[in-house]
Structure formats: structure tokens, C-alpha cells
Amino acid sequence: MTATPVAPPPAPAAGGGARPRRRRRTRLQLLTTTDRVVLAVMVAVPALIVLCIVWLPTLGTVLLSFTGWNGIGGLDRVNFVGTDNYEAITTSYPPFWTAIRNNVLWLAVFFLVATPLGMFLAVLLDRDLKGSWFYRSSIYLPVVLSLALAGFIWQLIYSRDQGLLNVVLGLEGSDRVDWYGDPSVNIWAVLVAASWRHVGYIMLLYLAGLKSVDLALKEAAAMDGASETRTFFSVVFPTLAPINVVVLVITVIESLRAFDLVWVVNKGRNGLELLSALVTANIVGEASLVGFGSAIATILFAIAMVFVVPYLGSILREERR
């Protein structure tokens, strides 16, 4: 799980406006040579690590996706095959379309069910309630568990023979459903477990956002006779814009990164195909189709970038102001 930063707020002004401070960073020219060298090292070492471990491999993935390399032999054995991998993936690799469908489904459920539910719970909890600590903690609890662990815990509910769900539904004998195993239902079962975690995360982010909403705004709306629902949608919601952006990015990224849960259930096969699982299966599994796996990874990367780039653009604009 990864939290996602939002564009920084204007720094709380110690006196005067917020903006001048940003201009008052020390200019490098004022420093001695030693200081400049120290600063350079302080940035260069971490930058080199990120460059070598994150950015160059990402570039490598894109390049490898145009090759037919199977990982055997040195890089001199790499042969460029153009877009062959992409053609093969889209035309003769059925799991790909299942994975796309499942990824879209994942995104849709997170967007249409889990995120609104998290937001709704945050709105309910944003009042003065007795025992709100208990409500908050229990809804938030799954977030500290790993997604893999969530997979194991829900197994006790989904198991065909010993799971709780079949007993509660009164399913006996051959009517029993193998919730994790049956490819026609397991994606939904997994989505329930994944949403269980996601709702708490979203709730927490909105709770933080709601706390920063100016109370005077709400009171003014109440004075004008606006209903609570009306106040929320017309007054509160618009002020949550930065949080909405974060939640949007987190939801997309978490959906694309979803991996642990399907991998512990059945290694992302038989109904639980996801792009992330396909990439992994093609590389750590028995078949080592480097070029082919890279093409799937590149598709995954490209989809993520569609959302990440505009988001980074907004950070950039905020910073430059």
C-alpha cells in the first residue's frame, strides 16, 4: 500500500502572505565550494539510487517490450521484433483480455462502491459522536493488515467446505460455492475483501480533509436554512477538491497495483487474472518470456501514466506558484 502525496498547501504564514517564503530559499551562489559539494552529494546519491533502481528499469521494460528476448544468454542475443509482442498479447493471449476486464472491474468497484462508502462513513464520523474512536478504529483496522493477509483471513469465510459464507447461506452438498475457486464468482469475492481494506483508507483521508473544512462555512449554510445534504454537496464537497484528487490517484494506483490478494489465492489464474499478476507470472514463473512480459508491464505502466502525469502536473503548478 502506498499513500499518495498531494500538492503542498501554501505554507502557513508566520506573518505576511504565504508566498514570499518560497522565494526566500537560500541561493546556491551564496555558499562556499565545500557547502555546494556537500549539497550536491546529498542529492546525487539518493538520485542515483532512484535512477538506477526505478527509472532505468522502467525505461528498460519499455525497450524490452519490443524484443523477443527469452532471458537466455546475454543482452547481445536480444532481437528487436517491433510490435509483435503487443500483437500477440492482444490477439492470441486470452488471459490478457480477462485481466483487462478484471482490472476495469476492480477500478469500477473501488470507484463506484468502496470510495463513496468510505466518503459516506467519513461524513457520518465527522460529527461529535460518542464512541467515534471505536467506529473509526474498526473500519480503519484492515488498512494496517497486508493485502496478502486479508486474502488469508477471508479464506475462512469463502472456503467451500469450511467457510462461513456457505453455512450462513444454507448451501449444502453440491450447492456449495467455492467462492475463491470458482472462476465465475471469485473476482467478486476478492473484490469484497479488497474493498474491505480500501474503504477504511478512503475514510481516513476524507476524515482528515473534513477536519480542515472551515466550520464557519457550515454554520453559515445552516443559518441560511440549507439541509445537511445540501450543505455537504454545495459547500463542503467543493472545498475537498485536493482530497478528491488524492483519492482519485490512490484509487487508480491501488487498483493497478492489486496483486498480493489474487496471488495468495491462486497466483492470479482461473478467473483472477490481473495485469500485475500476468507480468509476474511471466517472469518469476517457469516460462521466462522477457519481451512478452515486458509488453504487458508497459501497458500497465502506460495506463498508470494516464493518471499520474496530470496529477504530477498539478503538483508542479502548485510548486511554481
Partner 1 sequence: MSTSTSAARTAPGEQDGPRRVPPAARRRPVTPGRVLLYAVLTLVSLAWLFPVVWAVYNSFRDYAFTAVNGYVSFGGFTLDNYARAWEQGDFGRHFLNTLVIVVPSVLVTLFLASMVAFVLARFSWGLNVAMLVFFTAANLLPQQALLIPLFRFFLRVGLYDSYWALIIVHVAFQMGFCTFVLSNYMKTLPKELTEAAFVDGAGVLRQYVQIILPLCRPPLAALATLQVTWVYNDFFWAVAFLSTGDKFPVTSALANLQGQFFIDYNLLSAGSVIVAVPTLVVFFALQRHFVSGLTLGANKG
Q: Binders of partner 1 among 181-210, rule CB under 8 A?
A: 196, 199-201, 204-205, 208-209
Binding of residue 264 to partner 1 (CB under 8 A): yes
Q: Which of 6, 3, 2, 1 is nearest to 244 (CA)?
A: 6
CB 146 within 8 A of CB 261: no
Q: Is 287 in the site for partner 1 (CB under 8 A)?
A: no
Q: How far is the CB of 236 from partner 1 (least distance, A)?
A: 14
Note whether 124 binds partner 1 by CB under 8 A: yes
Asked if 220 interacts with partner 1 (CB under 8 A), we say no
Q: CB within 8 A of 61, min separation 6: which ones?
A: 294, 297, 298, 301
When the beta carbons of 47 and 108 are compared against partner 1, the nearer one is: 47
Evaluate whether 61 touches 301 at the Cβ level (below 8 Å). Answer: yes
# chain residues binding partner 1, by CB under 8 A: 120
* 80 forms part of the interface with partner 1 (CB under 8 A): no
The Cα 142–Cα 152 span in angstroms is: 13
Closest CA to 296 of 103, 77, 148: 103
Binding to partner 1, residues 87-116 (CB under 8 A): none
Tell how far CA 135 is from the center of its chain. Answer: 24
**50-79: contacts with partner 1 (CB under 8 A):** 50, 52-58, 60-61, 64, 71
Give least dist CB 234 to partner 1, A: 20
Question: Contacting partner 1 (CB under 8 A), which of 212, 224, 230, 310?
Answer: 212
Binding residue for partner 1, selected from 108, 169, 220, 284, defined by CB under 8 A:
284
**Quick one: cell of 135?**
467506529
Q: Does 290 bind partner 1 (CB under 8 A)?
A: yes
Minimum distance of partner 1 from residue 299's CB (angstroms): 10
Residue 189: name the closest of 251, 118, 281, 109 by CA: 109
According to the binding rule CB under 8 A, does residue 122 interact with partner 1?
Answer: no
CB of 287 to partner 1, least distance (A): 13
Residue type, 300: L
Burial tier of 111 (Cβ tally within 10 Å: 0-12, 13-18, 19+): middle
Contact set for partner 1, span 2-61 (CB under 8 A): 2-6, 8-9, 11-12, 14, 21-22, 24-28, 31-32, 34-35, 38-39, 42-43, 45-47, 49-50, 52-58, 60-61
Burial label for 195, CB within 10 Å (0-12, 13-18, 19+), is buried
Q: Which of these ranges, 83-91, 105-113, 140-148, 180-188, lies near partner 1 under the rule CB under 8 A?
A: 140-148
Distance (Å, whole) CA 22 – CA 25: 6
